[in-house]
Amino acid sequence: RQDTIPHVFGKDRRSLIERKIGRLFRGTTYTHAVAQGRETEGRRDDRLLLTALLNPALVQPWVDVLARHKVPLAGICSLPLLSANLLKRLGVKDDNVLLVTLQSASGLRQSFFRGGELRVSRLARMPRLGTVPFAEHVVGELDKLRRYLNSLRVMARESPLDIYILSQGEPLE
């Protein structure tokens, strides 16, 4: 979720971020805030991307095993957040970028970047390969995301959207 906070430092900043995260993402300890610059007008508030793992049960067994074996854990990072680094490594400089990846167990991950910053990431369910025309289903999901981006006003309706699809094997064919 995109949000803003007043431009403050230290404990005040941490407190504001913790309060916003606590209100948005109840029931999970796996949260993160990414500073994404400042507003250009008005008070010039700080822009934040607030993220969370909404189903902590997905990673808790792994965290428990690591703790039981006293293996230090530096952090848990989501793929959409790491994807910004991938786009840099690929040399992608387009303004509006949609990175699409097929997650074998969970579905179609669509991550939208504006100016190199992650703005929205959506996971769409995918039918089992071979049960429906795969390409048509993906195009339908991309159209849904495009309409969603327009409704959020994170991208102008007439702006080009550069789409990068990462896949392999049969789904790619």
What is the percentage of the chain residues whose pLDDT exceeds 70? 95
pLDDT score, position 54: 84
Q: What's the sign of the alpha-carbon dihedral 163, 167, 171, 173?
A: positive
Mean pLDDT of 99-123: 86
Q: Residue 130: what pLDDT?
A: 66
> What is the predicted pLDDT for the residue at 67?
95
Decide if pLDDT at 172 tops 70.
no
Per-residue pLDDT tens for 95-108? 899 999 887 666 88
CA pair distance 165, 99, nearest whole angstrom: 6
Residue 105 pLDDT: 65
CA distance 50 to 119: 10
3-state SS track over 79-130:
HHHHHHHHHHHCCCCCCEEEEEEEECCCEEEEEEEECCEEEEEEEECCCCCC
The mean per-residue pLDDT over the stretch 59-63 comes to 93
